[in-house]
Structure 1
Amino acid sequence: MISFSFLGIEKSYSDPSGKNLQVLGPVDLTVESGQFLCLLGPTGCGKTTLLRILSRLESADSGKISMGSGNLGYVFQQGALFPWMTVESNVMFPLKAKGVKSGLCRSRAGEMLRNVGLYEFRRSFPHELSGGMQQRTALARGLVTEPDILLLDEPFASLDTRTGIHLQEMLRKLCRSLSTTVVFVTHNIEEAVYLADRIAVMGHRPGRIVRDETLSLKWPRDRLSSDFTGVLLSFRQTFEELVDQ
């Protein structure tokens, strides 16, 4: 079953001189329900713009988006937690916005906080948490509504390697258990190869998909295996060719 599709998506902005600058397109992409897709590409290739168009935070200049009636979850690069709210209140926020009753909000938020190992910190405020704990809170908030599609914009980019790997494993486990369709933006090749069912590599000037591949790697994945290393090196070569352009 198709979760969503892009057909001929294009986007342009005006630079400071008023000149029109095409940053995206045309982009054609179809994603199956339950698939974990990584959008991989160098900085400035339009990955985040494409994500924002899918989430309706921005509109495309041309093209068509086909998507079912399911709900979306969004996890931003820096978490974007409300600093005046506790961890629990941050996670409850999207449920309250949908009109879910307070008792059920608290119950579902508590369950998700247990899933990410933060239940005992539910009454803490964001500034009292480490960077990794803040991102776990953001992940819990993104998943608490059990979205049909979860969008993540480089959520682990600012974390140390050990914390990032831990959260990658947590994210993959949670999304598989919920059968969530995932679009994960990253410029980290190893992260993409570890997480994804499928990787779409984006070039730039303007942003477009230059390689689209479903991975044959089995689960659980071993980062030290020859199969993993082979896929990693293949995508690294593609990535380096893009950067050199």
Structure 2
Amino acid sequence: MLSTFRTVALKGADVPTIAEETLDATLRFESVDKHFANGTTALTGLELSIAPGEFVAVVGPSGCGKSTLLRLASGLDTASGGTVHAPTDSVGYVFQDPTLLPWRSVLANVELPAELTGTPKAERRERALDALRLVGLEGFEKQLPGQLSGGMRMRVSLARALMTRPLLFLLDEPFGALDEMTRLRMQEELQRIYAETGFAALFITHSVTEAVFLAGRVVVMSARPGRITASFDVPFPHPRPAELRYDPEFGRIAGEVSAALRGGFQ
């Protein structure tokens, strides 16, 4: 599938340039640096590529620049050096907080992205209902966010992001604030949705087992300034059963990721 991409290339103090290109749907970071005004270097020489339909999870110590990666991929921030190739018009972003509007119904919250882009009412209603069915919230369209559990609110957030029919899904620790049982159920729901839709995904998490359960590839970042220090393929097909977490091969991969993560603190 082809899509319009944004390419941002920065060299030293050069002025940022943005070019529109037609490329295979993917996300690429090439020798990316990110410096902040306070003198902090968040990323240095970062290299990462995500193929169409690939689910990549990123783990690393706190403050290593994981969330900065997502901000650069989404266009919410720009790199200080290197090149970022990312879709301009086909990105879904899910935050740790569902960020729902409390006065709008579930259906109205999900419709919001299409409403803001001027999509006709009938079309956005149909797409919103499809998204709610996909995340298992059919029948909750008229509820307000305050009437839902934490897991259900996160499902609404996922449905809202799916409204854009993204080629690339960016997820910033979306299940971090949930209790353990709800978190496990949401992991199973997300990988089911991924198996049905086939979007590419960049998923940020502090949980190694979550990363291995969800992703086809897990990458490890170093402590600040962040860079990729290790990458692990996870060969299990999607959708994945809950029992996979007890598989010896699953445990072996999780152990290797954990060892690489510990090495990143040294």
Q: Does TM, scored on the shorter chain, surpass 0.5?
A: yes
Within the candidate set 127, 136, 139, 2:146 is matched to 127
Structure 1 gap segments, 5+ residues each: none
Q: Distance in 2 between matches of 1:145 and 1:53?
A: 19
Within the candidate set 28, 36, 42, 1:13 is matched to 36
Q: Distance in 2 between matches of 1:30 and 1:129?
A: 37
Counterpart in the other structure of 2:109: 90
| Cα pair 2:229 2:264 within 8 Å, conserved | no
Greater RCO (CA < 8 Å, at least 6 residues apart): 1
TM-score (structure 1 length as normaliser): 0.93
Counterpart in the other structure of 2:254: 232
| Cα pair 2:166 2:199 within 8 Å, conserved | yes
The letter of the residue matching 1:13 is F
The answer to whether the aligner puts 1:201 opposite 2:220 as a matched pair is: yes
Q: Distance in 1 between matches of 2:185 and 2:87?
A: 32
Q: Distance in 1 between matches of 2:250 and 2:44?
A: 31
Moved more, 233-242 or 126-135: 233-242
How far did residue 84 of structure 1 move?
A: 2.1
How far did residue 113 of structure 1 move?
A: 0.9
Within the candidate set 158, 162, 165, 2:177 is matched to 158
Within the candidate set 159, 163, 168, 2:187 is matched to 168
How far did residue 167 of structure 1 move?
A: 0.9
Q: How does 1:202-221 map to 2 (within 5 A)?
A: 202-219=221-238, 220=240
Give the direction of change, closer, same or farther, for the CA distance of 1:103–1:218 in structure 2 (3 Å limit).
closer
Question: After superposition, what is the alpha-carbon deviation per residue over 1:30-79, rounded to whole angstroms, capped at 9, x for unaligned?
Answer: 11000000011121110001100100011111111123555100000111
| Cα pair 1:217 1:227 within 8 Å, conserved | no
Counterpart in the other structure of 1:145: 164
Q: Distance in 1 between matches of 2:64 and 2:88?
A: 29
How far did residue 166 of structure 1 move?
A: 1.0
The letter of the residue matching 1:74 is Y
| Cα pair 1:2 1:31 within 8 Å, conserved | no
TM-score (structure 2 length as normaliser): 0.86
How far did residue 86 of structure 1 move?
A: 1.2
Give the direction of change, closer, same or farther, for the CA distance of 1:2–1:73 in structure 2 (3 Å limit).
closer
| Cα pair 1:86 1:124 within 8 Å, conserved | yes
The letter of the residue matching 1:83 is P
Q: Distance in 1 between matches of 2:176 and 2:153?
A: 13
Alignment identity in percent?
36
Give the direction of change, closer, same or farther, for the CA distance of 1:106–1:66 in structure 2 (3 Å limit).
same
| Cα pair 1:8 1:27 within 8 Å, conserved | yes
Q: Distance in 2 between matches of 1:205 and 1:43?
A: 9
Q: How many residues align?
A: 240
Q: Distance in 2 between matches of 1:180 and 1:205?
A: 29
Within the candidate set 62, 80, 90, 1:61 is matched to 80
Q: Distance in 1 between matches of 2:186 and 2:82?
A: 35
SS of residue in 2 equivalent to 1:120: coil
SS of residue in 2 equivalent to 1:119: coil
Q: How does 1:2-81 map to 2 (within 5 A)?
A: 3-15=26-38, 20-68=39-87, 70-81=89-100
Question: After superposition, what is the alpha-carbon deviation per residue over 1:86-111, rounded to whole angstroms, capped at 9, x for unaligned?
Answer: 11111001111222111111111112
How far did residue 239 of structure 1 move?
A: 1.6
Q: Distance in 1 between matches of 2:264 and 2:232?
A: 16
Q: Distance in 2 between matches of 1:192 and 1:79?
A: 20
